[in-house]
Structure 1
Amino acid sequence: MIPDRQIKHHDRERSSWVRLRTLVILRWIAILGQITALVVSVRILGLDLEVGLAAMAIGASIIANLFSTFLYPETKRLSELEAMLMLLFDLLQLCLLLYLTGGLNNPFALLVLAPVTIAATFLRLRDTAILGIITILILTALAAWHIPLRSTAGDVLQMPDLFRFGFWVALVIGVVFLGAYARLITSEIHEMSDALLATQMALAREQKLTDLGGVVAAAAHELGTPLATIKLVSGELLDELGDDPDLADDVRLIGEQANRCTAILRSMGRAGKDDLHMRRVPLEGLLQEAAEPHLMRGKRLEFVISDETEMPARQPIIERRPEIVHGLRNLVQNAVDFSSD
């Protein structure tokens, strides 16, 4: 069973995967697009816009980017709150520009989908939902309150009420659908990545055990000769020092300890040659070992061994074979991949 604090710790680690530099680059791209759209609207399309206020909104985004660039290193990882605040700032800045340039009559209102979609890829579900609700509320407000788009001749440029309502509905559906879609795809990618990491860790662990067994077997073989020499010499000294009981006891002790070391190395050598995997363990222990690489994947695992009686279940003793562990691990991986809790 996975403790809740481990699941929360895993979520916090995942939320800090995004670097500050990534969002800064995305913001610079958005700023360049906003400046281009403003210049084209005024110089080419001849629209009468609140250029000063729009330039101040874009300037606020530029200042925020400059502060982020110079105050923090490029490798800084954003916390959950920091990433949420950055995306919220981008959303509010974009909505302010939309308020100054016709609200939902502005075709660039479609860009409000970007912050929610980005948030769904790395923020937790709660924060993504909060950002989505704020986006829907702002879109609703922009549909009712905004500065109208006007041409230089004074004509008001706006869509019919029915089209504007349909555009609002389309944007709301887009916020919900794209956010959910990005969330599901990203979750599947993360689960596959976690499964791959768990498999790599398991294989690395098995390789280390195999290498350790080989080292033990080699050590037992190499140390056998010097220990045999010590035993032989101690026997000869014991024959020569038979008249001195104190020295004879010391030499006898040396021989006994050499015999003991030989026995220990012989048993360790057999364990190394047996690859350290041929051990007999209870069924529950084997299941726990097979499920160990998947304990940190955000799913709750329970191990229940029971029979029809009220007495504790008697578990079968199973040989710990690599093929059995690998097969059980695949079953656990499939269960974790397709479980809902």
Structure 2
Amino acid sequence: MALPLKLPKLPARLEGAERRNILLLIQLRWLAVGGQLTTILIARFALGVPLPLEPMLAALGILALLNLVLGEARRRGMVGNAQIFATLLVDVACLTVQLSVSGGVGNPFISLFLLQVVLAAVLLPPWAGAVLVVLTSALFAWLAVGKMPFALPEAYASHLSRPYVVASWFNYTLAATLLAMFVTRIVRNLGERNTRLAALRQRAVEEEHIVRMGLLASGAAHELGTPLSSIAVMLGDWRTEPVIAESPRLRDELDDMRSEVMRCKEILGRILLASGEVRGDAPRRTTLAAFLSGIVADWRERASIPVEWHNRIGEDVTIVGDQALAQTIANLLDNAVEAGARRIVVEASRSGEQVRLAVRDDGRGFAPAILKNLGRPYQSTKTRLGAGLGLFLATNVLRALGGGITARNLHRGGSEILLTWPGASLAIGEGE
């Protein structure tokens, strides 16, 4: 099977974790250079082993130069996966040169090949670890049959039988393969865990934002309730004034004002209900079809464009009307009007245990940035203060019900928003 060797482009800017990983790689290579130099000098001058110093020290010089270059590239933010993989190949090449002139597979330091395999599995995509497993296994076999002659002093001389060499090669290949597989899997699991943690942190931030908005809305609703009640009383008193009682035009205007004030009070009541402070009537027992059709009917009364309602729910169920969900649907219809829609279609259906509500319009549709960041606050093409909260609120309301929201642009123009939630989240039993 061919391995994909497509290398990613250089990152424009190294992230903090990447910079630390590269720094650790540089430090580890310095330790390796120091350790190898110490070992070579002790073996040559203390133990009397006739090591060829020129090629071995030249390999160490290459590693030291490589580290200097990698350190400068790290400071400039010019190190990517391709560069890290290339440095590991240089490490393998230098170790191979040193082993080939100092005993081949008889050199106990041949197991250092595993270090490059593990580093590739930790720092690079899975294909890099697989490549190094194959490469180092092949070099192990080559060192067993193609090494340069090397004579140890009589006190240290030994002979490795061919079965032992073959078994050593098999042992190395098996160990390298297992290490690459399990280290890669561990790294992937850690990455998935970090992704989940990041998503949970983002959700916690969004929910905290919702709580702050709810407290602000609840406080505003409390403060606005008193002046609206006063205005309603004053409007009722004005109706008995002779000037207004004798003028049909003024009476009609006064009635319109009172109806708008009552509508404001109803909206404030819904805000308080959504925040957990019930005022007036308790949550209403209804059916799913009646609940959704009622939302559309209420919005249609004050809308300036036609709204089509399609009920494809099938068998109806008894539910408790959720005012937060009702306000969410009304907000989505308002958003469609602000997007230039001249016609809106609302369709409700059920798919198994899931309730699906689609809102389609023929407006301008969503900008790509809005679709990419769907559900995040203040993502809007509108410039007014507070714009961009509609889809954010809808996302969190549906999330609280155990559902979700998706959006897309239609090929013929306009957009579609699909709300889904489990039917059981609102349903109640017959005996309840």
On whether the aligned pair clears a TM of 0.5, the verdict is yes
Task: Give the C-alpha shift of residue 213 in structure 1.
Answer: 3.2
Q: Which moved more, 1:150-159 or 1:101-110?
A: 150-159
For 1:29 and 1:119, locate their aligned partners in 2 and report how far apart those are by CA, in whole Å.
Answer: 18
Equivalent residues of 1:234, 1:255 under 8 A apart: yes
Three-state SS of the structure 2 residue aligned to 1:72 is helix
Which of 284, 308, 315 aligns to 2:354? It is: 284
Alpha-carbon RMSD: 4.1
Give the aligned partner of residue 55 of structure 1: 57
For 1:157 and 1:52, locate their aligned partners in 2 and report how far apart those are by CA, in whole Å.
Answer: 25
Three-state SS of the structure 2 residue aligned to 1:47 is coil
Task: Give the C-alpha shift of residue 55 in structure 1.
Answer: 1.1
Structure 1's 287 and 228: CA in aligned 2 closer, same or farther, altered over 3 A?
closer
CA distances 1:45-65 after superposition (whole Å, capped 9, x unpaired): 111122111111111111111
Which of 252, 264, 277 aligns to 1:261? It is: 264
Structure 1's 89 and 170: CA in aligned 2 closer, same or farther, altered over 3 A?
same
Give the aligned partner of residue 424 of structure 2: 318
Normalising by structure 2, what TM-score?
Answer: 0.55
The one-letter code matched in structure 1 to 2:266 is: A
Equivalent residues of 1:143, 1:164 under 8 A apart: yes
CA distances 1:30-77 after superposition (whole Å, capped 9, x unpaired): 111111111111111111122111111111111111112123328x59
1:139 aligns with 2:132: no
For 2:159 and 2:139, locate their aligned partners in 1 and report how far apart those are by CA, in whole Å.
Answer: 19
For 1:43 and 1:134, locate their aligned partners in 2 and report how far apart those are by CA, in whole Å.
Answer: 33
The one-letter code matched in structure 2 to 1:53 is: P
Matches within 5 A, 1:285-304: none
Question: Where do 5+ consecutive residues of structure 2 fail to align?
Answer: 1-7, 279-321, 327-347, 356-397, 405-420, 428-432
Give the aligned partner of residue 23 of structure 1: 25
Matches within 5 A, 1:63-142: 63-73=65-75, 76=77, 78-142=79-143
For 1:233 and 1:169, locate their aligned partners in 2 and report how far apart those are by CA, in whole Å.
Answer: 95
Give the aligned partner of residue 313 of structure 2: none
Task: Give the C-alpha shift of residue 206 in structure 1.
Answer: 4.4
Equivalent residues of 1:279, 1:320 under 8 A apart: no
The one-letter code matched in structure 2 to 1:43 is: F
For 1:209 and 1:51, locate their aligned partners in 2 and report how far apart those are by CA, in whole Å.
Answer: 69
For 2:50 and 2:257, locate their aligned partners in 1 and report how far apart those are by CA, in whole Å.
Answer: 102
Equivalent residues of 2:55, 2:97 under 8 A apart: no
For 2:71 and 2:426, locate their aligned partners in 1 and report how far apart those are by CA, in whole Å.
Answer: 54
Structure of greater relative contact order (alpha carbons < 8 Å, 6+ residues apart)? 1
For 1:169 and 1:62, locate their aligned partners in 2 and report how far apart those are by CA, in whole Å.
Answer: 32
Aligned sequence identity (%): 23
Structure 1's 223 and 40: CA in aligned 2 closer, same or farther, altered over 3 A?
same
Task: Give the C-alpha shift of residue 136 in structure 1.
Answer: 1.0
Which of 273, 276, 280 aligns to 2:276? It is: 273
For 1:40 and 1:267, locate their aligned partners in 2 and report how far apart those are by CA, in whole Å.
Answer: 83
The one-letter code matched in structure 2 to 1:86 is: T
Three-state SS of the structure 2 residue aligned to 1:227 is helix
Question: Where do 5+ consecutive residues of structure 1 fail to align?
Answer: 1-8, 293-314, 322-341
Task: Give the C-alpha shift of residue 161 in structure 1.
Answer: 3.2
Equivalent residues of 1:132, 1:176 under 8 A apart: yes
Give the aligned partner of residue 173 of structure 2: 172
Matches within 5 A, 1:213-228: 213-228=214-229
Richer in helix (by share): 1
Richer in strand (by share): 2
Task: Give the C-alpha shift of residue 236 in structure 1.
Answer: 6.1
For 2:249 and 2:158, locate their aligned partners in 1 and report how far apart those are by CA, in whole Å.
Answer: 113
Task: Give the C-alpha shift of residue 235 in structure 1.
Answer: 5.8
Normalising by structure 1, what TM-score?
Answer: 0.68
Q: Which moved more, 1:83-92 or 1:184-193?
A: 184-193
Task: Give the C-alpha shift of residue 90 in structure 1.
Answer: 1.7
Equivalent residues of 2:144, 2:165 under 8 A apart: yes
For 2:422 and 2:70, locate their aligned partners in 1 and report how far apart those are by CA, in whole Å.
Answer: 60
Equivalent residues of 2:235, 2:258 under 8 A apart: yes
Give the aligned partner of residue 44 of structure 1: 46
Matches within 5 A, 1:180-199: 180-199=181-200
Task: Give the C-alpha shift of residue 109 in structure 1.
Answer: 0.4
